[in-house]
Structure 1
Amino acid sequence: MELNRQYVNRFIDDAIQYNEYEPADAYYLQNLILKITGAEQVDEHVAEHSLTDLTPNDIAQHWIEQMIENQIIEDVVYQREIIETKLLDLITPKPSTINRRFDELYEQHPEKATDYFYEICKRNHYIKTDAIAQNVHYYTATEYGDLEITINLSKPEKDAKEIAKAREAKQTHYPANALCMENEGFAGSVTQAARRNHRIIRLKLNGEPWGFQFSPYAYFAEHSIVLSEAHNPMKIEKATFSNLLEFVQKFPHYFAGSNADLPIVGGSILSHNHYQTGRHTFPMDNAPASHAFTIEKYPEVQAATLKWPMSVVRLKGQNIDELVEAAEYIFEIWLHYNDATVEIKAFSEDGTRHHTVTPIARYRQSTGNYELDLVLRDNQTSTQFPDGIFHPHPDVQHIKKENIGLIEVMGTAILPGRLKKELKEVEAYVLGNKEADIGKHQMWADRMIAAYDFNQENAEDIIHQEVAHIFKRVLEDAGVFKQTEEGQAAFKRFIQHL
């Protein structure tokens, strides 16, 4: 296998421009490229043509295709990613260099620092902007405001052969999970993601070491993760509220939130303490107050429930310490709160805890206030609802069965990629193709046919709208105090208890 001279030169130019290499390193870089790609030499006899529009990742993908063609690697996700990250690591500065420059830019303005880091992570394809662009995305108006719907198509699916290899492979415990600091620069394997081009910014929150990184398959603008350097499990506690508020104090253009720390209502990785952040306005951010109240112990903190399908207490104020104290007070009361009239139960007979919160912090530049939302969560199950009483109920699980995590709590649906194909089948069915394979969507599709006059122009829009209304129901199912007269009366009893 030979590499095109122009591609090699262009990639070397990018490595010199974006990394710490100099022109004198050109042959050294060329030999690294040959080693990574398994090529024998560089083809010097090629016609001249412009490569100005090619990115470093375009060139990396071109070489990966050559490697597959020459049977140097197999056409499987993990092998492609190992080569991609090795190559794009060459255009990525060392972690220490990036951290030093990030800190310098932070002294000028926090946005300059995150913008710098974000550009690096897009350029080296750690953030998969091309894959993210495939996601389905739209808004639908509801009585709670516009809900945001996304169907996640960005993460590549492993084929059966790759899954089989992963099962047969020796299981290792390094890195311990996908959120460890040890992933920075990790080569990757059939069982663990390649991270040679991965970089993490070092932070201190409450004096403890944390890392800040962007998410490869972002669900929203500048989707990022703040992860504990210590290998501690997820835990909602007073320090959580303090850490989230300290983060938005350091980066006021970002929100910060944590998944809950219990199964069913928690996130996908409960084994490693982490938060999610980013530069995005979520539907819940704009939710109006439903019932304002004052907590006697914290009179300077403004408190209110929200007009929102889930049960939220929003705290506002300019004093972060006061907000943290008020949040801990509410959290501790919720941990032990019971109301049998609306099936709310803090502990099982065996002492198993069922209550926690999903906390979200933000800074409002318009008012100078910090806000801390506490979304009340309950992970009980029952004979009627074995997946969870406050979880998507069976009649909506054809659209969304998974846990309702932080992002969805805020009104942004992360729906599984399977839906893109399935909704096309539903569209064909409502337009008259009774041979369409709609499976578990049958009852829903028949209800829509009875309710709407479908045609080629409106079918997709109506189906998208109906998906959003099912997501609204999903959030209502997850709300502990329902949007009913009985539910809101129970919510007011909890507020009075505060």
Structure 2
Amino acid sequence: MTIFQTVSQLVAKGVEAEFIQPRDTAYVRNQLLGLLELDSFEEEPSTSTSKDIPDLVEVLVDYAVSKQVIEDILDEKEKLSANLMNCFLPQPSVVQDKFYQLYQEASEKATNYFYEFSKNSNYIQMKRIAKNIHYKTKTEYGELDITINLSKPEKDPEQIKRERETKQTSIPYPKCLLCAENEGYAGRIGHPARSNHRIIEVPLEGESWFLQYSPYVYYNEHSILLAEEHRDMKIDRAAFARLLAFVEKFPHYFIGSNADLPIVGGSILSHDHYQGGRYPFAMTKAKDAFTFALKAYPDIKASVVKWPLSVIRLQSTDKNSLIKAASDILAKWKKYSDPTVDILSDTDGTPHNTITPIARIRDSKFELDLVLRNNRTTEEHPLGIFHPHEDVHHIKKENIGLIEVMGLAVLPARLKDELAEIKKFLLGEANKVEDYHKEWAKQINQTHQARLTRENVDQILEDELGAKFSKVLEDSGVFKTNQIGREAFQTFLHTLNE
């Protein structure tokens, strides 16, 4: 297979995917040749291929490295890959126009088109995502999702060295990874290429917001909705209004927000954004633990969800009533303290209480989940009282954001090899179990020794990992699911009617 045949195959795949028309083939081919620094093209017999677009792009990138067109470092390869794909893609306005043409028929048709576009354009890294380990595990809270994240490529030493030498990480454009001006950005050392990136403008409550998909989707149609303005995350009445306005426009999607405080917030608090998609999380399917009345809002069904975190679920046909009720609950929660269960609203004026909200439409009604969060720390729990505690840090030490809140664990790549060593230990084979896993491995062995076999050891490990994630979520709940926690939760709920 020659480089010219690979170019021809990629162009043919572009036609097949309806990115370009047959009339465009010479133009696109010449754009590809230019990026590969090839001055001519040799016509060769066409050959079919089982490779898809990402595979063919990877072949071209490898060629460019071998011919020293680019250096063999991650960001250079990512830049070329995105630029190669951009040769096939229409301008953002064309993508957006088609999105809204389809939206006139059905909102689902519009998102189906944009999701497939984002995958075919190799912006969503489906080949890398396929490397992730993913399974469901049964717990008392339902089937939790466990993902060991193997999709994000590791930075090699040369990449890190180049970032330090060039100091390009300090360039203030784009302002952050979520800013709208990333659309079409070529990338640089320390900032990912976005040449093949397209976003859709979605007006919400008098503001411009933009819809895109995550390049590393953790669940079906994992989308990001970002503010046009680069501003900090904020949970307030306007946020509730935007979330409900979005699901009104796209009723087949849920949309939620990370909390707006450190520890309980997500990884990027410097840009106002939400995450949505089409996936039935365990929390979504969780039943009511009990219902309660909101006297000021008789049209709203209010309940506490049977879930390890503290979740108030509001449901109504009246969107504005939900916005008002959620705003009232947020205001009460921000000022609420109960030292008997370690909840303080603030420390010397620094706030601790906030909410992780999730909106959806269910049974033709608006539904809003309000997950109560608190980011207080102590000497005993320096990373957070309502944060994964030290006994689960060997599994999960990072912040519990929106995705984890809903019941999907995103766990570090190191666990793939570390679990393999624990498996060897359980089977009585030579192993190198990490010190921070040894106590856990012994506990698993003691619990399951009588029935543990080579055939069921993987299932046992998966279930034990799921139990650890359940503990992570329980640690993060402000009102625990025991009697003391439920009584404390009831005390807070009484304040909502005062």
Is TM more than 0.5 here?
yes
In the alignment, is residue 471 of structure 1 matched against residue 469 of structure 2? Answer: yes
CA distance, structure 2, for counterparts of residue 160 and residue 439 of structure 1? 26
Matched to 1:305, the amino acid is V
Please name the residue that 2:448 is paired with. Answer: 452
Distance 1:306 1:20, change over 3 A: closer
Equivalent position to 1:133, from 122, 130, 134? 130
Number of aligned residue pairs: 492
CA distance, structure 2, for counterparts of residue 352 and residue 186 of structure 1? 38
What's the offset of the Cα at 1:130?
1.3
**Deviation digits for residues 15-40 of structure 1, max 9, x if unmatched?**
45667755554443332111111224
In the alignment, is residue 418 of structure 1 matched against residue 414 of structure 2? Answer: yes
Distance 1:382 1:105, change over 3 A: same
CA distance, structure 2, for counterparts of residue 342 and residue 402 of structure 1? 23
Check the 8 A contact 2:148/2:413 in 1, yes or no: yes
Equivalent position to 1:404, from 384, 390, 400? 400
CA distance, structure 1, for counterparts of residue 455 and residue 16 of structure 2? 49
Please name the residue that 2:162 is paired with. Answer: 165
Please name the residue that 1:74 is paired with. Answer: 71
Which shows bigger deviation, 398-407 or 60-69? Answer: 60-69
Instruction: Note the residue ranges of structure 2 that are not aligned, 5 or more in a row.
Output: none
In the alignment, is residue 484 of structure 1 matched against residue 482 of structure 2? Answer: yes
CA distance, structure 2, for counterparts of residue 458 and residue 159 of structure 1? 37
Please name the residue that 2:117 is paired with. Answer: 120
- SS of 1:81 mapped into structure 2: helix
Please name the residue that 2:334 is paired with. Answer: 335
Please name the residue that 1:196 is paired with. Answer: 195
Please name the residue that 1:368 is paired with. Answer: 364
CA distance, structure 2, for counterparts of residue 493 and residue 67 of structure 1? 65
Please name the residue that 1:185 is paired with. Answer: 184
CA RMSD of aligned residues (A): 1.6
Matched to 2:90, the amino acid is P
Pairing 1:196-345 to 2, within 5 Å after superposition: 196-345=195-344
Check the 8 A contact 2:421/2:431 in 1, yes or no: no
Please name the residue that 1:108 is paired with. Answer: 105
CA distance, structure 1, for counterparts of residue 331 and residue 215 of structure 2? 35
What's the offset of the Cα at 1:3?
5.8
What's the offset of the Cα at 1:342?
0.5
Distance 1:47 1:27, change over 3 A: closer
**Deviation digits for residues 224-244 of structure 1, max 9, x if unmatched?**
100000111100000111111
**Deviation digits for residues 96-149 of structure 1, max 9, x if unmatched?**
001001111001000000011111111111011111111111111111111111
- SS of 2:262 mapped into structure 1: coil
- SS of 1:74 mapped into structure 2: coil
- SS of 2:290 mapped into structure 1: strand
Matched to 2:350, the amino acid is T
**Deviation digits for residues 464-497 of structure 1, max 9, x if unmatched?**
1101001000000000001111111000111111
Please name the residue that 2:384 is paired with. Answer: 388
Which shows bigger deviation, 75-84 or 367-376? Answer: 75-84
Distance 1:149 1:20, change over 3 A: closer
Check the 8 A contact 1:14/1:91 in 2, yes or no: no
Check the 8 A contact 2:422/2:431 in 1, yes or no: no
Check the 8 A contact 1:3/1:39 in 2, yes or no: no
**Deviation digits for residues 180-206 of structure 1, max 9, x if unmatched?**
000000001111000000000001010
CA distance, structure 1, for counterparts of residue 306 and residue 110 of structure 2? 36
Matched to 1:123, the amino acid is N
Pairing 1:429-440 to 2, within 5 Å after superposition: 429-440=425-436
Please name the residue that 2:493 is paired with. Answer: 495
Check the 8 A contact 1:362/1:370 in 2, yes or no: yes
- SS of 1:213 mapped into structure 2: strand
TM-score by length of structure 1 reads: 0.96
CA distance, structure 2, for counterparts of residue 48 and residue 148 of structure 1? 44
Matched to 1:442, the amino acid is K
Check the 8 A contact 1:184/1:196 in 2, yes or no: yes
Check the 8 A contact 1:4/1:42 in 2, yes or no: no
- SS of 2:346 mapped into structure 1: coil
**Deviation digits for residues 264-295 of structure 1, max 9, x if unmatched?**
00000000000000010000011111120111
**Deviation digits for residues 427-458 of structure 1, max 9, x if unmatched?**
11121135423231011011111111232111
CA distance, structure 2, for counterparts of residue 20 and residue 476 of structure 1? 47
CA distance, structure 2, for counterparts of residue 343 and residue 467 of structure 1? 28
Which shows bigger deviation, 10-19 or 32-41? Answer: 10-19
CA distance, structure 1, for counterparts of residue 367 and residue 240 of structure 2? 11
Please name the residue that 1:148 is paired with. Answer: 145
What's the offset of the Cα at 1:57?
2.5
Please name the residue that 1:85 is paired with. Answer: 82
Check the 8 A contact 1:413/1:471 in 2, yes or no: yes
Matched to 1:318, the amino acid is T
CA distance, structure 2, for counterparts of residue 403 and residue 157 of structure 1? 20
Which shows bigger deviation, 441-450 or 13-22? Answer: 13-22
What's the offset of the Cα at 1:94?
1.0
- SS of 2:300 mapped into structure 1: strand
Check the 8 A contact 1:425/1:436 in 2, yes or no: yes
Check the 8 A contact 1:92/1:120 in 2, yes or no: no
Instruction: Note the residue ranges of structure 1 that are not aligned, 5 or more in a row.
Output: none
**Deviation digits for residues 250-269 of structure 1, max 9, x if unmatched?**
00110000000000000000
In the alignment, is residue 443 of structure 1 matched against residue 439 of structure 2? Answer: yes
CA distance, structure 1, for counterparts of residue 358 and residue 16 of structure 2? 39
